[in-house]
Amino acid sequence: MGGIVVGALVLLAISAPVIAPWDPNRPDIRNILDAPSNAHPLGTDQLGRDVLSRMLYGARVSLAVGFVSVGIASLIGVLVGSLAGYNGGLTDGAIMRLVDLMLVFPRFFLLLAVLAFLRPSIWTIMAVIGLTGWMGVARLVRAEFLTLKEREFVIWSQAVGASGFRIVWRHILPNAMAPVLVAMTLGIPAAILTESGLSFLGLGVQPPHATWGNILNEGKDAIEIGWWLSVYPGLAILLTVLSYNLLGEGIRDALDPRLRQSIGRFVSRVR
């Protein structure tokens, strides 16, 4: 179910220029804060712009931020975790102390501090979220490497003289990617929530570009007469986060045979 909803959201975001009924940035002073109607199914905002069109274009921004920032975080996390887990010793200790140091700072406040010195833009948001979100992936990859490097196929590869790079790239890393894939899937909704929170505070993607967060920000000033400006973006964020979480859980169940065996044993006992 989560995969179907995620696929539908991605399709809607890609098709936004085709299916959006109005220009998302076109003001219309004759239709300011119009309630949902046939002409504007999700109503209009304080400038008369169509909320449905802005929601569709906002989906493009929010999903792009999620994919790109998680890609950056995963790439850094895999590199750092592989280096720490395979080498061990002082290298592992130094890298993990750096990870612990990064985890000490609350991520959202770290983002606010960084963005206070940078000009907010979609590329800045992607980079900052990615550069502050790699620690969890690094710890996952390190844990997998510490286990896998003691396995027989790795010991045999070392015995026949395979290089460390080949062992990591061809043997250990492919077997360590299952939890990383799950972490990436679950990291996308977290990045979308972070971007929405930053945009709601006015530190994310700047107007006139539409994101779900800045639509919410604009709606808070008209909550009593324009409830749709808060309800529909909030529901979109809720549905997206829930769907990605369900998709991540499904991928985890599919890639973890031990979990499936445990569930099977539990079901057989119940019966």
Domain carrying residue 137? 2-15+50-270
205 vs 192: which has the higher pLDDT = 192
Decide if 71 is inside a domain. yes
Decide if 39 is inside a domain. no
End-to-end CA distance of the chain: 26
Length of the chain (residues): 271
Q: How would you class 49 by CB atoms within 10 Å of its CB: exposed for 0-12, middle for 13-18, buried for 19 or more? A: buried
Written as six digits, the tokens of 143 are 């844990």
Spatial distance between the Cα atoms of 33 and 51, rounded to a whole number of angstroms: 10
Provide the 8-state DSSP code for 184.
H
Decide if 23 is inside a domain. no
What share of the chain has pLDDT > 70, as a percent?
93
CB atoms within 10 A of CB 34: 18
Calculate mean pLDDT across residues 165-186.
83
Cis peptide before 208 (omega within 30 of 0): yes
Decide if 21 is inside a domain. no
Q: How confident is the model at residue 112 (pLDDT cuts 50, 70, 90)?
A: confident
Decide if 70 is inside a domain. yes
Decide if 41 is inside a domain. no
Give CA 36 to chain center in angstroms: 30
Is the pTM higher than 0.85? no
Cβ(69)–Cβ(130) below 8 Å: yes
Most confident region among 35-44, 157-166, 168-177 by mean pLDDT:
35-44
Among 70, 17, 95, CA closest to 193: 70
Spatial distance between the Cα atoms of 165 and 61, rounded to a whole number of angstroms: 37
User: The domain spanning residue 249 has which CATH number?
Assistant: 1.10.3720.10
Residue 72 has pLDDT above 90, yes or no: yes
Q: How many domains does the chain have?
A: 1
Q: Which residues contact 16 (CB under 8 A, 6 or more apart)?
A: 53, 56, 57, 59, 60
Residue 44, CB half-sphere, CA atoms under 13 Å: how many? 22
Spatial distance between the Cα atoms of 72 and 184, rounded to a whole number of angstroms: 10
Spatial distance between the Cα atoms of 74 and 210, rounded to a whole number of angstroms: 27
Spatial distance between the Cα atoms of 61 and 129, rounded to a whole number of angstroms: 14
Residue 104 has pLDDT above 80, yes or no: yes
Spatial distance between the Cα atoms of 77 and 216, rounded to a whole number of angstroms: 32
Decide if 200 is inside a domain. yes
Spatial distance between the Cα atoms of 229 and 223, rounded to a whole number of angstroms: 7
Cβ(51)–Cβ(228) below 8 Å: yes
Q: What does the pLDDT look like over 208-217, one tens digit per residue? A: 778 888 888 8
What's the confidence (pLDDT) of residue 256? 64
Decide if 28 is inside a domain. no
